[in-house]
Amino acid sequence: LGTRPKLADLADVALRGRQVRLVPAARGRIVAARKLLLDRAGEAGPVYGVNTGFGELASRRIAAADLGRLQVNLVRSHAAGVGEPLSPEASLAMLFLRANELAYGHSGCRPELVEALAALVNAGVAPVIPSRGSVGASGDLAPQAHAGLLLLGEGKARIRGPKGFGKPVSGAAALGLVRLKPCRLEAKEGLCLVNGTQAMQAVGGLALYRAMLASEAADAAGAM
């Protein structure tokens, strides 16, 4: 995590259970960005999404004691998707891509948040994410929020086993089965989880990968 993954890397993680880890250089970037964020938030002025509300509530200041609760409420309020769930492979791809994005060190989250996402990927715990509700290029807010619920021990998830993914269980049960604990969100970290386009990247990336395999198979069949 913290590098530029290729399409083959995405497929290996989502389809074949390849393990991921946070590289030391990326950890250093995350720590530095987190310090900068906290220093700025400690000043008198507002920092959007950190000590203020979101959207039309940007002018509403949030007390220091409520910064973590603000982030949890953001994730819960945006987990409003509908429709058939994404495939568990696409959900794992989302977790991987979001963790890698945060590992670049531009978002201001703690390294613990990135490692929590990586732990879910490595344990094969795929959040159940409704396929409808994204606002597109403005952000996959609803799908990302459903993925974020799993970190809180909420929502639902499926776990990859020797014969594929099992039936959906509660987020709390899924974490317990793989011996992981719910993550406690701190300042800005809910925003870090939901504000991205990793749902469309995951679905589109895996679709492209499968299309390339089909094309190669067609070429081979035609040549034979």
Percent of the chain with pLDDT over 70: 100
Closest CA to 155 of 174, 139, 181, 141: 174
Question: Mean of the pLDDT values across residues 127-152?
Answer: 91
Catalytically annotated residues: 48
* Greatest Cα pair distance in the chain: 71
Query: What pLDDT, on a 0 to 100 scale, did the predictor assign at position 212?
Result: 95
Query: What pLDDT, on a 0 to 100 scale, did the predictor assign at position 14?
Result: 95
Question: Mean of the pLDDT values across residues 162-188?
Answer: 94
Kindly indicate the confidence band of residue 203, based on its pLDDT and cuts at 50, 70 and 90: very high
Kindly indicate the confidence band of residue 64, based on its pLDDT and cuts at 50, 70 and 90: confident
Closest CA to 15 of 216, 219, 205, 214: 205
Query: What pLDDT, on a 0 to 100 scale, did the predictor assign at position 130?
Result: 96
Q: What's the whole-number average pLDDT of the chain?
A: 93
- Say whether pLDDT at 138 is over 80: no
Query: What pLDDT, on a 0 to 100 scale, did the predictor assign at position 136?
Result: 76
Query: What pLDDT, on a 0 to 100 scale, did the predictor assign at position 139?
Result: 85
The residues, any chain, with a CB within 8 Å of residue 119's CB and separated by 6 or more, are: 180
- Say whether pLDDT at 171 is over 90: yes
- Say whether pLDDT at 83 is over 90: yes
pLDDT in tens, 14-54: 999 999 998 889 999 999 999 999 888 877 788 888 889 98
Q: What is the pTM of this model?
A: 0.90
